[in-house]
Structure 1
Amino acid sequence: MIVDFSQFDRLCENTGRCGIGACRSGASVGAEIKLEGLMVAEPDWEAVGKAIRDRMVQLGLLQEELARRSNIAPATIREIEYNTVQRRRGKRTLRALSAALEWHEDHLEAIRNREAPPARETLGQAARNAAAGAATAIEETLRELLGRVAEIERMLADLHRSQFGE
């Protein structure tokens, strides 16, 4: 079983910060470490950096444009792209970069965790899924309202019978 190494910070007896560069246990970035019977994979930041560089070339983006699109500081993008500073990165950072690179929001997180990235929905698929969800919600609300109207009609009929004896 491969597990995201960053989830085990509290288990490292040497530094408490494994997954953030090399620690005194001798673990280095990209290594797999056996931890209490589990195979634990450190985040693959080199693969994340390569994916970002490749995608920027594919889209013809400069770091400044990626920074503007993602609202992530250019220095942070450089650190991730070239894997120069080993630190934890929040999901929001990776999601913002993924979206700015026109990928599924979990794309870079999957790469970091050595998993297959999820397929990005096309705009048409996303719109159809959103419309289908909205239609389902509207149908449920309409059914509920029709049930309430039927109950009000029954109550009015009962009131009419009691008042007019019909």
Structure 2
Amino acid sequence: MEQDWTAVGDALRARLDELGMTMTDLATKSGVSLTTVRELVHVLNTRRRQPRTLASLSAALGWPGEHLGSVLRGRPTSEPSGFGSLASVHSELQDLRQRVEALERAVRRTD
């Protein structure tokens, strides 16, 4: 079966840019090692990956779990209308919550 790792890297880079995430953010949010994220984004190592790796990355980026696997196999993916924007809002909300919690902890330490 033909696997298009370049398409996976392109999709990851585009989504990271769209969401304003770093590779470190993605690694943390997905539970996938930063080394693996870098390899996939930069198409450095196209060894076989566990399906759960791509599923975890997809979910962390607000996509359906099978999204990156479909990209890898060259199959079109379909997202419900507005899915991308809703995922972006959800991701931003989570980021804001984490920042507010960090600020609250910092304020408590200075009191």
Structure-1-length-normalised TM-score: 0.48
For 2:21 and 2:3, how far apart are their aligned partners in 1?
25
Distance 2:42 2:26 in 1: 15
Contact 1:106 1:118 (C-alpha < 8 Å) held by counterparts: no
State how 1:52-63 maps to structure 2 within 5 Å.
52-63=12-23
1:106-125 to structure 2, matched below 5 A, reads: 106-120=66-80
For residue 29 of structure 2, give the secondary structure of its aligned residue in structure 1. Answer: helix
Which structure features the higher share of helix residues?
Answer: 2
Cα root mean square deviation, aligned: 1.5
Q: Which runs of 5+ in 2 are unaligned?
A: 87-111
Considering fraction of residues, name the structure with more strand: 1
Greater relative CO, 1 or 2 (CA 8 Å, sep 6+)? 2
Preserved CA contact (<8 Å) 1:43 1:114: yes
Displacement of 1:100: 0.4
Question: Following superposition, which runs of at least 4 residues in structure 1 exceed 4 angstroms of deviation?
Answer: 120-123
- TM-score for both structures, normalised by structure 2: 0.70
Q: Distance in 1 between matches of 2:35 and 2:52?
A: 16
In structure 2, C-alpha distance between the alignment counterparts of 1:66 and 1:75, rounded to whole Å: 11
Aligned residues: 83
Equivalent residue number for residue 101 of structure 1: 61
Q: Which one has the largest radius of gyration?
A: 1
Q: Which runs of 5+ in 1 are unaligned?
A: 6-41, 124-166
Do the aligned residues in 2 keep the contact of 1:104 with 1:118 (CA within 8 Å)? Answer: no
